[in-house]
Amino acid sequence: MVMLRTPAVEIPPEILGGWLTPRRAPPPKQTAPREPIRIESIAIAATPVAKPAAKPKPAPPAPAPVVTRKPEEVDVQQTLAGRQPASREMLVKRFGGNEQTEKAVSLGLAWLVRQQKSDGHWELHQGYPNAGSPSLKTSTGATSLAMLALLGAGHTHREGPFQQNLQKGLTWLRRVQKPNGDLHDSAELGRQTSFYAHGQATIVLCEAFAITRDPELQEPAQRALQFLYDSQHPVTGGWKYRPHSEGDLSVFGWQLMAIQSARMAGLDVPQEVLDRAARFLDQVAESHGARYRYEANPELPITLAMTAEGLLCRQFLGWQPEHPALRSGVEFLLQEKHLPRWSSGSRNVYAWYYATQVLHNVQGPAWDAWNQVLRSSLLDSQVKRGPQSGSWHPTQPAGAPQEYAAAGGRLYVTSMCVLMLEVYYRHLPLYAAPE
């Protein structure tokens, strides 16, 4: 959706073995006639066949040790400094952006700002052509996605051309927040959008606080986080549509991104929340953590979106670039069929959003290969003229079913595309120090 380091996975040892079965001496030759042999009465063990001894296989290498960072170890300036004007231009050039990507971001933000309502919120399901479905109605989610895009380009409610837009949006979010910290605007906790929206809004509050240190945002941000912690399943470590749901990876990812934003801001994150989150990832993982599925059901397929989301979560929880499962996962993301091409049936901005962050963290040839295709796809498909200039059409062409573009609508797709084009500076790569 909407639908913006853990203990290592243990790799079980290979089951080795097989003893050479001794060959029995043949029975002595008999001269008397024998009874006919009844095949069905012969047990398999009665005629052993000698086999060569199995050659022992070398044990697989142990995974790289994983250490989960503590909140106080996260340097806010080093994480978010790329959004500052002094750093942004340099990082665009360094990490593969250009003047065209920056122009596309500006046009996209301008379109988003034009959709803001007078009371400060945005909507997914109405107000512009190709809006989303009422079934995914969530003003909190729409508001949060638009604000994440504005914050991602370095704008704040304290300064810049969109100062008032962000201030009105923050005021609206704080007004809809419930006493228990829940930020979803609907009273129907349990709707599909509820925890997506809460996670996204929590990221907004944490980022705005981290960048500006506005004391008025600390309490609502921490209260939103506490609702998130209290809602985590106590055993599986997951989140879904209701508090203490067993969890699905799609919803889970937005909550972990909110926790990562809290760590950036130095807000309280209990270690047990991170430990439970790591356990959930183990349950939805396959191939020792290199692939992921939606829920802990082995009959569900491995998908690009869930694998990218799972790998990003592993990076947040401490996996280093040399981790064997992370390397294998990166190879999966870069398969030809998964490259981010804006073509019918294969476009998937939801999956691309996560894969873009994973590969940006890794950098090197993997990032270069992905970014080259992504950049062209997003620049070529942005609307250039007319009242919808700056946006991206959600159904021309139709994306993959898992993209939810038709249900999410133009604002959802536009926000996700802008966030991807901000990747060069929105967050510094986890494994690359700034020059």
pLDDT of residue 135: 86
Q: Who contacts 343 (Cβ-Cβ below 8 Å, separation ≥6)?
A: 397
Torsion over CA: 211, 217, 222, 224 (sign): negative
Alpha-carbon distance of 254 to 276, in angstroms, equals 15
**Residue-averaged pLDDT of the chain:** 86
Residue 113 has pLDDT above 70, yes or no: yes
Cβ atoms of 252 and 277 within 8 Å: the answer is: yes
Residue 375 has pLDDT above 60, yes or no: yes
**196 found inside a domain:** yes
Cβ atoms of 324 and 362 within 8 Å: the answer is: no
Q: φ, ψ for residue 261 (rounded to 5)?
A: -65, -35
Mean pLDDT, rounded, for 252-258:
98
**411 found inside a domain:** yes
Separation of first and last alpha carbons in the chain:
34
Residues of the domain holding 219: 96-335+345-426
284 token code pair: 């939805």
Q: How many residues does the chain have?
A: 435
Cα Rg for the chain, rounded, in angstroms? 26
Helix (H) or strand (E) holding 292: strand 291-292
Residue 1 has pLDDT above 60, yes or no: no
Residue 214 has pLDDT above 70, yes or no: yes
Residue 71 has pLDDT above 90, yes or no: no
Alpha-carbon distance of 360 to 364, in angstroms, equals 9
How much of the chain exceeds pLDDT 70, in percent?
A: 80
Q: How many domains does the chain fold into? A: 1
Residue 400 has pLDDT above 60, yes or no: yes
Could you tell me which of 281, 316, 318 has the C-alpha nearest to residue 296? 281
Alpha-carbon distance of 325 to 176, in angstroms, equals 41
Express each pLDDT in 262-321 by its tens digit: 999 999 999 999 999 999 999 999 999 999 999 999 999 999 999 999 999 999 999 999
CA dihedral 90, 91, 96, 97 (to 10 degrees): -80
**47 found inside a domain:** no
**258 found inside a domain:** yes
Q: How far is CA 293 from CA 38, 53, 297, 408, 416, in A?
A: 51, 38, 8, 22, 22
Q: What number of CA atoms fall less than 13 Å from residue 44's CA on the CB side?
A: 0
Mean pLDDT, rounded, for 383-399:
96
**72 found inside a domain:** no
The label of the residue with tokens 């809006």 reads: 131
**283 found inside a domain:** yes
pLDDT band at 80 (very low <50, low <70, confident <90, very high): confident
Residue 62 has pLDDT above 70, yes or no: no
pLDDT of residue 189: 63
pTM: 0.83
Q: Strand, coil or helix: what is 177?
A: coil
Question: Which tops the pLDDT comparison, 137 or 168?
Answer: 168
pLDDT band at 10 (very low <50, low <70, confident <90, very high): very low
Q: Who contacts 29 (Cβ-Cβ below 8 Å, separation ≥6)?
A: none
**Bridge partners of residue 292, in order along the sequence:** 285
Could you tell me which of 238, 266, 256 has the C-alpha nearest to residue 73? 266
**71 found inside a domain:** no
CA 366 to chain centre: 18
Query: Which CATH number is 422's domain given?
Result: 1.50.10.20
pLDDT band at 24 (very low <50, low <70, confident <90, very high): very low
CA dihedral 272, 273, 275, 277 (to 10 degrees): 160
Alpha-carbon distance of 28 to 48, in angstroms, equals 18
Please name the residue ranges forming H helices in 153-243: 163-176, 194-212, 215-231
Express each pLDDT in 118-142 by its tens digit: 999 999 999 999 999 998 889 999 9
pLDDT band at 372 (very low <50, low <70, confident <90, very high): very high
Could you tell me which of 9, 19, 110, 107 has the C-alpha nearest to residue 65? 9
pLDDT band at 81 (very low <50, low <70, confident <90, very high): confident
pLDDT band at 239 (very low <50, low <70, confident <90, very high): very high
Residue 28 has pLDDT above 60, yes or no: no
Cβ atoms of 301 and 326 within 8 Å: the answer is: no
